């Protein structure tokens, strides 16, 4: 089940909200409703993997309690942390990387003329990357003394299972939500804010991202793309991925508000960034913060000298790329971003102070913004690096990515090929142009306001009324479009 489906919109969500608000207004009781609803949501996909999900939850709750019993930072607590994180990573490694590992090893054996290994195909449980990372962050925070181990197993299970973010984030930390499990506000204004945010995300996903998707698929399937084909396909994917994933995050945040939760923001206009360092402070901010706090710092951070700092920075992005999927394309994409981050650090490239965010990575110091002309140049170069990286991220294999790169820089001047031009509709082109205009307008507004990202305040009644003038019609059109099109999952479901 996905948010952008009629089953979710017209069956699951209404029934869940009815059960939630008919339950007496005590958060402990409503936590039970959220937990049961989340387990039903997950079981809709595959009920057998619900057992794995519950086992990971129970294991990490137990580990958290044992760490707390021995005391934060103690030797025995550290052993429990290593055991907990080790089993979590082993679980993730088996389900996510067993096929990739065996396939890569078999290629080596084939080159040596040896017989390949045989392994039954391992099915990837949906959402495992997110709930394993959140489990590790919880036991690590308990070990560090950053949060107390909860003695309420339902609260912890609800934290791991919260269906709005379960499948594709944002990546939560228990300490950010702990107080909300005990006490959270339920009001008509907050529910209205959440509904509006959900509709905005739904429009991003269905009306924009899904309309652009065929252009992307056709471009990456071309065997002999022209330069124009390759660039149009790369730019289309740049727009599709942002509107798809940020749309999911908006919907998750909106659903949370409907239940009284206020989640962290996950995007802050990433395509206005003037460096890759700034890009990772704006794109998938919850993951960026997780990689910083639980991987980069665990590797040593910027302690131990310049060479080790570059090593830790590069390894963080390399492993962050591998986290996205078991494919060499993701490894190379992570290496691409890691190498650029190292170069930026060596050159002293620092993001402007007024546009940093609380949830963003903090791997380099900050300074004031450079002159306007230089900012444009830095933005153009950063955007180019991001687009080139997305080609490798989207390609099914390295060969496909190299084919697109070759076409992008061949500069054949032939325009769009007849095959690609014939597959593109006017609606797709208009939607891509609309996506560009929306990104430019919202980015320009963010630059003018020059304010740090922060939790959004409750919407004023007038603002809601004005927004409904355009949100409701587009939301209804998006529902009609959803009903007419085939199933289209969120892109980040595969990661």
Catalytic amino acids? 324
How far is CA 266 from each of CA 157, 298, 470, rounded to the nearest angstrom? 22, 23, 24
Token couple for 169: 């984030």
DSSP 181-250: HH-----HHHHHHHHHHHHHHHIIIIIIIHHHHHHHHHHHH-SS--HHHHHHHHHHHHHHHHHHHHHHHH
B/e letters for 152-191, b = 16+ CB within 10 Å, e = fewer, are eeebbbbbbbbbbbbbbbbbbbbebbbebbeebeeeeebb
Q: Which three-class secondary structure state does DSSP give residue 290?
A: helix
Per DSSP, the chain holds a count of helices (H) and strands (E) of 22, 0
Fill in the DSSP letter of residue 10: I
Cα 219 to Cα 424: distance, rounded to the nearest angstrom: 10
Phi, psi (deg, nearest 5) at residue 454: -150, 160
**Quick check: 249 and 169 in contact, CB under 8 A?**
yes
The residues, any chain, with a CB within 8 Å of residue 243's CB and separated by 6 or more, are 204, 205, 208, 209, 212, 435
Cα 2 to Cα 486: distance, rounded to the nearest angstrom: 13
Cα 114 to Cα 131: distance, rounded to the nearest angstrom: 38
**Quick check: 349 and 366 in contact, CB under 8 A?**
no
The residues, any chain, with a CB within 8 Å of residue 221's CB and separated by 6 or more, are none
For residue 3, give the nearest of 267, 256, 361, 380 by alpha carbon. 256
């Amino acid at each position: 089940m996905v948010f952008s489906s009629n089953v979710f919109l017209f069956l699951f969500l209404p029934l869940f909200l009815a059960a939630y608000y008919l339950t007496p207004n005590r958060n402990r009781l409503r936590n039970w409703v959220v937990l049961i609803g989340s387990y039903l949501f997950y079981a809709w996909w595959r009920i057998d993997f619900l057992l794995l999900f519950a086992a990971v939850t129970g294991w990490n709750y137990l580990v958290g309690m044992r760490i707390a019993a021995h005391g934060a930072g103690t030797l025995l607590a550290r052993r429990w942390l290593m055991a907990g994180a080790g089993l979590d990573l082993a679980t993730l490694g088996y389900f996510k990387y067993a096929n990739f590992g065996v396939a890569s090893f078999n290629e080596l054996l084939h080159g040596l003329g040896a017989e390949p290994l045989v392994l039954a195909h391992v099915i990837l449980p949906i959402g495992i990357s997110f709930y394993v990372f959140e489990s590790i962050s919880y036991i690590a925070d308990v070990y560090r003394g950053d949060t107390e181990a909860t003695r309420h197993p339902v609260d912890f299970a609800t934290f791991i299972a919260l269906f709005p973010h379960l499948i594709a984030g944002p990546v939560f930390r228990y300490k950010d939500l702990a107080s909300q499990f005990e006490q959270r506000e339920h009001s008509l204004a907050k529910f209205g804010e959440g509904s509006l945010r959900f509709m905005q995300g739904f429009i991003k996903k269905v009306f924009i991202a899904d309309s652009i998707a065929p252009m992307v698929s056709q471009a990456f399937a071309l065997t002999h793309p022209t330069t124009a084909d390759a660039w149009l396909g790369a730019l289309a994917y740049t727009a599709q991925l942002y509107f798809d994933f940020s749309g999911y995050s908006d919907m998750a945040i909106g659903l949370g508000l409907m239940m009284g939760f206020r989640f962290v923001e996950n995007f802050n206009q990433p395509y206005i960034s003037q460096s890759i360092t700034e890009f990772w402070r704006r794109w998938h901010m919850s993951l960026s913060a997780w990689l910083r706090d639980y991987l980069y710092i665990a590797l040593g951070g910027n302690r131990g000298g310049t060479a080790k700092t570059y090593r830790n920075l590069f390894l963080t992005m390399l492993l962050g790329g591998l986290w996205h999927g078991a494919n060499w394309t993701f490894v190379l994409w992570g290496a691409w971003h890691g190498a650029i981050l190292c170069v930026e650090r060596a050159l002293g490239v620092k993001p402007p102070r007024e546009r940093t965010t609380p949830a963003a990575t903090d791997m380099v110091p900050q300074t004031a913004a450079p002159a306007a002309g230089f900012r444009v140049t830095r933005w153009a170069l950063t955007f180019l690096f991001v687009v080139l990286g997305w080609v490798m991220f989207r390609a099914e294999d390295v060969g496909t990515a190299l084919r697109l790169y070759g076409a992008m820089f061949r500069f054949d001047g032939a325009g769009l090929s007849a095959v690609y031009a014939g597959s593109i509709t006017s609606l797709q082109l208009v939607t891509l142009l609309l996506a560009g205009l929306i990104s430019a307008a919202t980015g320009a507004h963010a630059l003018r306001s020059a304010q740090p990202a922060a939790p959004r305040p409750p919407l004023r009644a007038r603002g809601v009324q004005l927004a409904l003038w355009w949100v409701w019609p587009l939301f209804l059109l998006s529902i009609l479009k959803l009903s007419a099109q085939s199933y289209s999952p969120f892109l980040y479901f595969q990661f």
